[in-house]
Amino acid sequence: MKKIFVSMGLAAVGTASLQAAYAPDLTSMDSSKTWGMWNVSATLRGFYDDNYATSGSGGQSGSVGFEFSPSLNVYVPLQQTELGLRYTYGLYYYQEREQLGQTPIDQTHQIDLWVDHAFSERWRMRIADTFAVAQEPELLSPGGVVSVPGRVEGNNIVNSGTITLHTDWTRQFSTELGYQNGFYDYENSGATVTYPTPLTIIYDPNPPHNPIGIIPGSPGSVDSSLAGLLNRIEQSAWLNLQWQVQPETMVLAGGRFGLVNYTGDEPVAIFSPGPYYSSYLLYHSSDRDNRSYFGYVGFSHVFLPNLFVSFQGGVQYTESYNDPLSSPSLAPYVVMSASYTYSPGNYAQVGFTQSRNATDVITPDASGRITQDQETSVLFASLNHHFTPKLLGTLIGHLQYSTFNEGAFANEAELFYNFGLNLSYTINPHLSADVGYNFDYLSSQIPGRTYQRNRAYVGFTAAY
């Protein structure tokens, strides 16, 4: 059986998008198995992480450790249906955390499932689902946009499912009807609320005890949890109208409806208008519920047999209907990607997205408006290059620029970028060795959020 390496990334602790590891298409596996094509592998690595808690300057702590990550891949081709399953488990041990009396082990799970079915030559359906239990930001952001740019303790659950129906009505005209559901559940829950202290009136001790002074109270505060801020269900449905104007060119026009419902059911922020705090506003998770309407046009084009580009661009109109202080807004919407294979087995990919997304920041401004979400631009790229038939180099990068919508940090920018470099050497058909390095950096205007992180690792992967 041909080997498949699925190295989920020790140094990144499950940050699949930065692990400069690779997973060739499952259809390349040997079909000699009677039930279908399958592959098992296991990765063992040692690593050093200089800021495993993603703490700000002065609070970071480093640790050596190891990763053990087994994986199972199954691919089943039938007459009109294809089934695929990929499961990866990760166990990560941090020596420093054990010495500090903390839980030294993190565990992650990632399951990818997909089904392709052709009802006929003109009707095709695809179902795909990704389920993850993780702590690292990339695995907790299946859409590629990071909502929490730091590590999150606990067994945090994210599930993203998509179903699409493609119909060829004529040789030139087709449609794509789709639905996507995202489920987010953070283990960190339970908010603490300090309500505003009422004003204190000082009375004259002598009759008739008239008021002689007033001491203002203090504003309230909420120590909010990630569950209250970010537990949510994201849904979207879309319809694309597609025209095949040339064999290598397709143009499209489409619309999408999105709905986000926050399910934390907890207090998340408090606003005391003052000056004596005789009244206050207490915000809950559902005050950030919103709906969006998208309109866009796009194209996909094969410029060369080895160069493919796709693009969608339009606008996104969003309204937070549970917050009377929030105003509807219009923002650009862009999804584009390109891939270039410059020689067999060697390729480069680049992509860009522009949209709105959830954020863990909510602090009210002086008028009581809370931060509803972010407007985010994401640039990502990857490069796979074989220096020799046995030596593969992979470089992966992710750059995210976000601005906050409304709230105390309205229009403030936050920059999050990371990259990973990996070298993998094939020792024999069942064993490979690899070495890699990852770098993360968050620059934020919000006090205490800025950090940087370096991770290096070396290990082996066995596959059958």
For each of the chain's 464 residues, which pLDDT tens digit applies?
A: 333 222 323 233 333 333 333 233 333 333 333 346 899 999 999 999 999 999 987 778 999 999 999 999 999 999 899 999 999 999 999 999 999 999 999 999 999 999 999 999 999 999 999 999 999 998 898 888 999 999 999 999 999 999 999 999 999 999 999 999 999 999 999 999 998 888 888 888 888 878 888 788 888 899 999 999 999 999 999 999 999 999 999 999 999 999 999 999 999 999 988 777 778 899 999 999 999 999 999 999 999 999 999 999 999 999 999 999 999 999 999 999 999 999 998 999 999 999 999 999 999 999 999 999 999 999 999 999 999 999 999 999 999 999 999 999 999 999 999 999 999 999 999 999 999 999 999 999 998 899 999 999 999 999 99
Q: Give the burial class of 270: count Cβ atoms within 10 A of its Cβ; 0-12 exposed, 13-18 middle, 19 or more buried.
A: buried
Residue 147 lies in a domain: yes
Q: Is the dihedral of CA 200, 205, 209, 210 positive or negative?
A: negative
- CATH assignment of the domain containing 317: 2.40.160
Residue 440 lies in a domain: yes
In whole angstroms, how far apart are CA 96 and each of 9, 24, 37, 99, 456?
Answer: 19, 35, 41, 5, 16
Q: Chain-centre distance of CA 205, in angstroms?
A: 63
Q: How many domains does the chain have?
A: 1
Residue 153 lies in a domain: yes
Among 405, 409, 399, 397, CA closest to 449: 409
Residue 164 lies in a domain: yes
In a 13 Å sphere around the CA of 434, the CA atoms on its Cβ side amount to: 33
Residue 3 lies in a domain: no
Residue 10 lies in a domain: no
* Cis preceding linkage at 216, omega within 30: no
Residues 178 and 184 sit within 8 Å (Cβ to Cβ): no
Task: Write out the residue range of the structural domain in which residue 385 sits.
Answer: 16-463
Residue 324 lies in a domain: yes
Residue 57 lies in a domain: yes
